[in-house]
Structure formats: structure tokens, C-alpha cells
Chain A
């Protein structure tokens, strides 16, 4: 990698004398060229010139600047096609790190990714999200500090991206949807006025982004899972709540309020009652039916778990179904059929290339997937199902972390946002973020952490 060299900077400045290399106007072309390289649409100077339609001089000048900022590297050669081998232009994904976390009702996942969104480390542990927001935040901070110590020593943090179990309000008029948070949205009742986002911003001095768990998992599946390279995908998360993520034209569709895909609220009809899809097919229902089957003795596996003092939850029912327990299979099949009916409606509307089923219940057994497949294939137009694949996610909870990383990188490198920080070389120097930090610093100091990571 070419290192920033004062004499080089001076030479560039002298070279630029009289030419249209003005700091204020370089931002847009720098952003354009950086994104061409970052997304792999151009890998040599010639390709950048051809794709961007900037002149050779402008491309050379901007690449010089991006190299000095440590954002691109031209030290490797490509394959010669007749003359001298071209220099490859590579985005330096190692330039910064993104801290990511998934906050679920019963689990907490944390990780760290490079600027390409690739996860470098992840860890998941059980957690209770109904605990006070300050407790959850402290736990997150201590885990993040441990990760930074082990996986980001000497590398700058560029952002934090959170996946949360609720709708994250969508675009505000006049502000890009990719803009970082400047306050804590009331995702959970206890988060109101808790300063969750402000604390993370202050402690790590980086912007914070946030999306719903369905949105981040959809993003993760789109970039790192079964949806990689596809344009249209339907992602279904089955848990206590059942939600859908929509990918249209290769991008996550967020709707007007960020509330896309709340299919769990739809009414469905079961064998002898009517209710919302959440209530009729979600993990609460599965657990409840499982406990009833254990009590009545119709499920020997679940009855055995209960007899030994174990708790019959939805995961136990799903595992019992996979082990061949007839009552558990029926519970999962019923849930799958109801979910499948709703998903079939969406499939007929969206005509996806792929439907990905996720959530721990879907991933613990094959029964739910089979029932959803049966319902969707049975209730969809032949044109919709001709090449349709219905799969189970292989990413698991990693989808949320991988997707959260992509939310942050897409936001950091969004054209309008990038133009305002690229000359400084880091999004932490973005004028709006500098203002936010100054504002947060005038607020009362957060209380000390009850948990501290080990000191060196």
C-alpha cells in the first residue's frame, strides 16, 4: 500500500496548480470513483475511466488522493492482455472496522466486520431484552470493548450497526434513509429516553445505524447467504413474531415507514379458531401446543422432557419433531401450513426468485420448511413457482450480524454521505457526526459501567 507522504502531497498540490482540482469539488468524483472500486465494477484505471467517463487526469488525481487517504491500493498487478500488466485498483476493506450487534428477545449477538461487510468475528449469548435499557447497553459496550481489544487493535472504528426486534422508523423527509441515528428510537418501551444510541456514540466515537431484525437478516441473506447475486427475494423470519423482508431489484425495500413485511399481524384461520399469524403460528403457539401435548401424553418426547424438569419451549418442540415425534410434527406442520398460506399470497404478488425461511424454529427441523413449501407450491400460480426455490437459511443468527454490517457499509458509502467525508478519509470526520458528538458531549455523563472487560 502506498503510504501518505508529505512530499507526495506537496507534489500533487503543485501538479494540480491551475487545474480543476479543488477540494470542494473533488468530493463527488472521489466518491464516484471510490464506489466503482469498492463494488468491484472497476478494477483498473482504464475501467474506471471507461465506466465513470472521467478523464485520465482526473482519475489519476483522484486515485492519488484515495491512496493517500488509505482507501485504495494499487500495489498489485493484473493480467496483461498484450502490453504491460495493468495495475489493479483495490478497495482497502481493512481501513476501518464496523461493530455489529443483534438484539433479540432472548439472545444477544455481537461481531466485527471489515468495510466490505465481511464478518471477522462473531459471538452469541443468551440475553433478556426486557431488562432495563441501560443494562443491555452496558453488556453490549463491554462485549464491544472485548472485541475491539482482540480484533481491532490499531484499526479505526467507522461505525456501529444494530439489529433490533422492532420497526425502525423509515426515512424522514429531507434526511437520507442511510443517515446515522442522532437519538434513540423507542424500539422497546424501556428505550424511551434511555440514551442507548447516544451512549454507544459517545463511548466509541462512531456513528450508529439501526434496522429491524427482519431487515438486517434479509440484508445478510442477500449479501452473504442464499440470496447472493439475486434481484428478487422473499425472506421469512419465524419466531415469536413472524415477519417478511422484501428484496426488489437487488435492494431491501423499506416502505414508507420502515414497516414492510409485518405479516404476523394478518388474520389467519386454523382448524377451529381465527387469530393473527403471530398468535396462530409463532413460537408462543408452538410452545403452548407442545406443553399441551406433553401434558396429554400424546408426545412421548416432550412428556419426557417435562418429566425430567425441563422446559418445553418452541425449540424443544422443533427438535422433537425432527426426532420423529408425531404430535410435535403435527404442531410444526400446522404452523408451516398457516405461514405458507400467507407467504403464497406474497409470492404471487412479488414473484421472487427465492424464498428463504429463517429463525431458530425453521432451522431446527425440516417439518416447517416442508409444510411451507407444500402450501406455497399448492396455492401459487404456476408461473410463480416454475423456478421458485424455497430454502432454509444457512446463516442462522449470523444473517443479522452480516446484514447489520452491510447496512453500515451501504450507509457509509452512500453517495451523498460519502461526498461529505471522503476528503477527511473517515466518516467519523463527517461534519454532521462531529456536530452530533459535540451535542452529546454537552449532555450529562453516562453512569459508569457495572461490567468491565478485563484490563491488560
Chain B
């Protein structure tokens, strides 16, 4: 599948194959130290990405000396980065939880001579090659397009659609949001899109209900990732609303909903394990001063009920949950 988006500075995407490692690369980084600063460790995506990173570093003889769960809190991330700078690892991989508020803390990492590789988000103003070595993300613009194309098939003529976005300045979710409404209106100009935003996952359910109450004719909804989508689905169901939903990330609960138990009709899936491997390889190339590409992008996968089982296996490298298999009548 091709990459349809551009990088945070308009870069063309480099495929993950571009950061493949040679035996001599692996030998050269043996014994180096790396720290990981994640936005959260509470999601399936984060755990699987972490697994890809830690496994790859293990294969290459590198030590992961710290894994920080920032809990989506900018101040926690700033404190963690400043603490890690004193620890002086050879590299830090971070997923910035915000934009301007965390920009300087990330800039301090490279200024301290530590290689910084970013996941999914680049605070505005940070430059590749100077403030960070590379960004590794999914093609988030492509994810938004996949979601729009999938939802379009479930909408009646002249439908109203809700877009539940994340109320933070975040490259990945901004790209999904822009791509979703642009693509939907190009392929379904009869559709009207209404949007609302949530600042925390705890608010997602209430935001979805509020949006549905303001626009009672809503015939579908896009939520920018799966955890708030499940929160929205649960809250909408409790309030008596049922409408087809699309989202991003094939988390366990979302997969069960998609398989037939819930309102989710399609998912644009990322490949977190593969992304974890790619970011580890990119970090190793940066440590060897091999000029990694500014943006390494992985394509998204379009998942429907028909391919949810095999997609789950592809994405998570493990069997689909029993609930999914039951819904798909693959077990009794």
C-alpha cells in the first residue's frame, strides 16, 4: 500500500526497508544505551510498539535503560527528558505528548549530544538533522483516508457525520482529521461533517453524546483512535444512540466491536510492532551517523469484519481474541 501523506516538514516518506540493518551495523552498536519516553504504556498500540523496539535493541546487543510512561502529561515528559539527559544514554526515543509546550525539552536532548528519534509527532519548530534524527510514524493521512472511504459505504444520501477529534496539537491526529473530512467530502459531497473534540479519553464519551445530541441526525462517526472510540461507543449506546463508527488502531476492544459485537464498521490499523522495529533500526542508523531519512512511514491497513482475524494477527503477532473468533464463527 502506498503512502498518501507527507511528513511534518513536507518530506516524502521513506519506506521501513530503507532502514534495514546490516550485520556490521548490529556489531557496531553492541553495548550502547537507549531510553524510551512514551506518551502512555496503557494502550495496546504502545505496548506492541514497545515490544518491537525492545526486541530489536535486544537483538542488536543494546540496553534499554528506562521506559517512561508520561500518561499524556507534558510536565511528566519534560521532567523525564531532563532527568534522562543527566543519565546520558546514547539515544532517546520519544513520542512527544504535545507541541510547543514540550518542544524545548526535546530540543535539549539533541543539544546535549544524545540522538533523539521521534515517534508519531514532531513539535513545531524542531528540525530533522538538527533537533532530532528522524520521525517514524504511520502514514496518518492515509489512515484518515481509509476511515473516510470505509464509512462512506455505510452512509445514506445527504447524511450527517460526526468527527470526534483530539483537542491537542498533535501531528498524527491532525493528519487523520484533515484527511478524513477532505476525503469524505471529495467522495461523498452530499455528506455534512460536524466535529467535536475531547481533551482526555475520560471526556470522549461525553463529547460524543454531546455531538450526537446537537446533531440528532448523525448517521456515522469517526473517532481519531480506538480507545476514545470505545469510550464513545459505550457512552452512545448507554444514551440510546446506535450509529456506524470508524476509527484508527485495531485494539482488542475495537476488534471485538468490529467483528460484529458493536458499532464499529471499519478500522484503519497501524502496525505498531513493525513501527517499533523500524524506530529501533532508525535509531541504530542515527547512532552510526548513517543519515536516516527524516521521515520513515509505514502504511496503514484497511480492516473490516471480513479480514479482522488475519489483520489482528498481522498487527499484533498473536491470535485474535476468542470473542472475535466467536463473532466470526471460527470457533464454537
Residues of A within 8 A of B (CB): 102, 107, 109, 118-126, 139, 142-143, 146, 150-151, 225, 315, 319, 322-323, 360, 363-364, 366, 392, 394-398, 400, 450-456
Contacts and interface: CB of A to CB of B under 8 A. Distances in A.
Contact of B9 (A124, A126, A150): A124
Interface stretch (B43-51, B191-199, B244-252): B191-199
A396 B124 contact: no
B73 to A, nearest CB: 21
Interface residues of B, number: 39
B195 A450 contact: no
Nearest to A118: B125
A454 B193 contact: yes
Interface string B166-183: 000100001100110110
A125 B178 contact: yes
Contacts of A452: 185, 192-193
A197 B294 CA distance: 34
Interface stretch (B11-19, B30-38, B273-281, B305-313): B11-19
Contacts of A102: 10
Contacts of A150: 169, 174
Given A107-B10, A394-B129, A455-B195, A121 B294 contact: no
B182 A451 contact: yes
B28 interface: no
Given A126-B4, A455-B193, A119 B125 contact: yes
A360 B11 contact: yes
Contact of A122 (B124, B185, B195): B124
Nearest to B129: A394
A452 B160 CA distance: 13
B241 to A, nearest CB: 19
Nearest to B195: A454
B186 interface: yes
Q: Closest 4 CB pairs between A and B? A: A397-B10, A396-B9, A124-B10, A454-B195
B205 interface: no
Contact of B178 (A143, A225, A395, A398): A143
B189 interface: yes
B317 interface: no
Contacts of A360: 10-12
B293 interface: yes
Given A120-B124, A123-B175, A450 B189 contact: yes
Contacts of B262: none
A109 B141 CA distance: 14
Nearest to B10: A397
Contacts of A315: 12
A394 B11 contact: no
A217 to B, nearest CB: 11
Contacts of B291: 322, 366
